[in-house]
Amino acid sequence: AAPVAHAPYRLAPSELKELSDQLKELSEKGFIRPSYSPWGALVLFVKKKDGSFRRCID
pLDDT at residue 27, as a whole number: 95
Euclidean distance between CA atoms 15 and 45, whole angstroms: 7
Q: What is the pTM of this model?
A: 0.72
CA atoms within 13 A on the CB side of 28: 6
Residue among 36, 37, 45 nearest 15 (CA): 45
Ordered by start, the domain boundaries in the chain are: 13-31+41-57
Tens digit of each residue's pLDDT (9 = 90 or more) over 8-49: 888 889 888 988 999 999 999 999 999 898 888 888 888 899
Euclidean distance between CA atoms 41 and 30, whole angstroms: 19
pLDDT at residue 50, as a whole number: 95
